Amino acid sequence: MKEDQTGDSHQPRSQTAHRLKMSPAAFRALSSALHNLSSRELELCSPRRLLTTVLSSSRREIFHIPLSDLDAICHHDSLVGEVAINIRIDSRINDRLRDFRDDAGRKLGRSVSVIEAINACAHVLNEGL
């Protein structure tokens, strides 16, 4: 068993890997969000940490993105491109990512992809919702 930062022992968590190819604009938005989070936390943060921070927030900002902004953020065709990234996240965070995708899909009336959900997480940190 491992110990976490609080000293509690726990079993290793299962993880999910997302292998994506982003457009340069989507990668810039993600990079900007990573910069913002790293500046706020005063340490270098990864895409995994970004997703964990946004999706674990008790304020649930990602679920309160206005519909007009959500529609502008979630455009799969404009987010997919040639910049390859891999993000490995805990399964519980992936479940929250799926919850957001389901919620956004209901609001938009269409399915929302993983890359769109990740872009929404970057938006939350970039816009300070």
Mean pLDDT taken over the chain: 90
The pair of structure tokens assigned to 63 is: 């679920």
Who contacts 98 (Cβ-Cβ below 8 Å, separation ≥6)?
Answer: none
Q: Summarize pLDDT for 105-117 with one digit per residue, the tens.
A: 999 999 999 999 9
Contact status, residue 25 vs residue 78, Cβ threshold 8 Å: yes
The domains of the chain are located at: 15-127
Q: Find the distance separating the first CA and the last CA of the chain, reported in whole Å.
A: 37
- The tokens describing 89, both together, are 């996240």
For residue 83, pLDDT beyond 90: yes
User: Percentage of residues in the chain with pLDDT exceeding 90?
Assistant: 88
Query: What's the rounded mean pLDDT across residues 84-89?
Result: 96
Q: What is the mean pLDDT of residues 5-17?
A: 64
CA dihedral 64, 62, 5, 15 (to 10 degrees): 140
Which residue, chain included where needed, has tokens 């993983």? 114
The alpha helices in 1-129, defined as continuous H runs, are: 24-41, 47-56, 67-73, 76-79, 91-108, 114-127
